[in-house]
Amino acid sequence: MAMTVAERRVMSRRRRQLMQAAGDGAILILPAAPERIRSRDTYYPYRQDSDFWYLSGFAEPDAVLVLVPGRKHGESILFCRERDPEREAWDGPQLGPEGAVDVLGIDDAYPISDIDDILPGLLEGRARVHYHLGRDAEFDLKLIGWLNRVRAQIRQGAQPPYEFLALGHLLDEMRLFKAADEVKLMQRAADISVLAHRAAMHAARAGVHEYELQAEVERVFRMHDAQPAYSSIVGAGANACVLHYRDNNAKSRDGELVLIDAGAEYRNYAADITRTFPVNGRFSNGQRVLHDLVCAAQAAALALAQPGIAYEDGHVAAVETLTDGLLSLGLLKGRLKSAITAGAYKRFYRHKTGHWLGLDVHDVGEYRIDGQSRLLEPGMVFTIEPGLYIAPDDVSVAAKWRGIGIRIEDDVLITANGHRVLTDALERSADQIEALMAV
């Protein structure tokens, strides 16, 4: 994918912002994601490391990005594969060092084969190394080897770095706040995901297999130049009670609900949507009651998606709404406060109400600062996804509730004045879903 002038400027601005935060005397080192073998000589589809992509826009493996604030000969340096016509005939075009400078706007670029000779010199004289230590054990050993080469020259006046710092401390905070260009890409990912979920609802019928609905969702992704942001979850009946259900191979039965948790990734940015709908197009009374309760919990959390409100408050509101509803339905016993304090609701609601969203579907960023839930700020994007899951073998509840799993998930951007639901176009309520499926 060619990079536009505007995209190149964005990447350059991010690198400058990160280097300014790291300060003089720092060096920042980011290896590209390694290729992974699937079987023998077959590889998994390559997906660039999110941090590496965020700062460079470079999509190839076997590369290292180095940022050296204040370096006179260029602060951003890329090591990458040289162009090789024979290899390109098999794997497609490569940028090579020259292309990295021309296309990406990198200050300087070298063949990856030269990194052993060049990187120790870049480390020399730097006080601090910012790096994701422990993420890639093989690269950790290489970096230690380069540091040791500098340390071996101390008697000759070399000055090795004396401090290792977690790169995520700076970079995660940058990525947490989405700029307008990122929001535009995330909205596109959300719009594609909305179309995909609608297509699955239209394709639903009693007897349809989970994999048929998965195929419909992912067909729409690919039709719009996107791909799955994560492994799609399609659970019919009691399979919806398995939070990370993977098989997607069961045959649905008339009267069951189907839970689809699937989102598109567009230009590396993720959407994340969950909807739960009746395979035959009509909710039973019991299904509707629980679906309405989950909708109400989501609405309670969404009302608190405001600047200056603690992130955790949305989860607290969802838990209170769900617990109150479960007590009213007789699925829980006791009083609201004690049921929440004792965690009684966790039998039916095991997870949190959301997560950060961006280049990763579970995106980077701290949820708590100094032990306290952080306050929401404009530019943050996260999911709101309450649910209820009643095990099929839970004999402590009436039979009509058993085996029902419901989750409703949307993607929310905090704005200066409130919030914007990026996935708001997708039908959510029981009435809306039934109307869509009737068409």
Active site residues: 41, 244, 261, 272, 351, 355, 362, 385, 389, 407, 409
Query: How many H helices and E strands in the chain?
Result: 13, 21
Distance CA 434, CA 439 (A): 9
Residue found under tokens 């609601």: 349
Helix (H, G, I), strand (E, B) or coil at 280: coil
Element of type H or E holding 190:
helix 180-203
Distance CA 49, CA 60 (A): 10
Instruction: Say if residues 222 and 266 touch (Cβ distance below 8 Å).
Output: no
Q: Which structure tokens are listed for 6?
A: 């505007």
Instruction: Say if residues 258 and 203 touch (Cβ distance below 8 Å).
Output: no
Write the DSSP assignment of 3-57 as a string of letters. PPHHHHHHHHHHHHHHHHHH-TTEEEEEEPPPP-EEETTEEPPP---HHHHHHH-
